[in-house]
Amino acid sequence: MNSDNRLLSLGFSPCPNDTLIFNALVKGLVCHSRRNFSEPELADVETLNEWAIEGKLDVTKISFHALVHVLDKYTLLRSGSALGRGCGPLLVGRNKFARKEIAGKRIAIPGKYTTAAMLLKLYEPACRNLVVMRFDQIMPAVAAGTVDAGLIIHESRFTFRNFGLEEVLDLGEWWEEKTGLPIPLGAIVARRTIGRERISYIESCIRESVRRGLAEPESAKGYIRMHAQEMDDEVVSEHISLYVNEFTVELGDEGLAAVETFMEFAREAGLSPLPGGLESVFL
């Protein structure tokens, strides 16, 4: 590692996939991680996105949408990401409506820089009446009629019917049909100034923490439950199985192709400030 041996700040969400991923690292069970990281800061993904834009943390979870806005400060890590199939954001409403009506609806989104928000703009660029809400406030707002529809993420895809809501559009399904690739949802990034050698070491620590979480899920159960709030065990299990997979261990060729395609789409739609492709992602 380089000569900068200070403790690094770390941020991720309280969602079960992130707490499983980081459990072994936070507990110091891999890579002497207690010698490398300070106590982690847990926050919802849009808060983490905003912090990354401010450059607040050294290593952090963010949305892939936010990634294109922070590559001057951060580099993507090849381990810890959330990509997959059958796990994309859902557009829901009190009643089903035609897809051609989406542009005219008042839609709640879980954050300006979330991947969900970018996918909606890629699908329907004419969407203008968007209301930013914290992800867990969206379903109640749709059910109450405060908004016409809501873009839901995380465990909400398992519980939206409890609010009497209907699925209007599966943006992950749309992405997969259009590209044949998994949808890139969340990324782990590290501050570029940490240096290539230490970043490589951090990446290996996260990879080992992911592998340990997948191999020994019961060992992480207490940490997951501590942050899962009122989520029941079945939803926690479904959440983890959907968002933690082989791409989380290592992006690999298919994962990298998905990231590159996502960035190309964003650039072509005018949603990315960066001209480059994958060459701009890594240190």
Residues with catalytic function = 154
First to last CA, the chain: 15
Handedness of CA 112, 113, 114, 116 (dihedral sign): positive
Structure tokens that stand for 113 in this block: 């820089």
3-class secondary structure, 145: coil
Please check whether residue 189 is in contact with residue 67, taking contact to mean a CB–CB distance below 8 angstroms.
yes
b/e map 204-229, b = 16+ CB within 10 Å: ebbbbbbbbbbeebeebbebbeeebe
Q: In what order do the strands lie in the sheet with 90-93?
A: 130-132, 107-109, 149-152, 90-93, 166-170
Structure tokens that stand for 217 in this block: 């899920």
Please check whether residue 33 is in contact with residue 157, taking contact to mean a CB–CB distance below 8 angstroms.
no
Please check whether residue 227 is in contact with residue 44, taking contact to mean a CB–CB distance below 8 angstroms.
no
Phi, psi of 169 (to 5 degrees): -155, 135
Please check whether residue 21 is in contact with residue 244, taking contact to mean a CB–CB distance below 8 angstroms.
yes
Rounded CA-CA distance 197/4 in Å is: 11
Residue type, 88: G
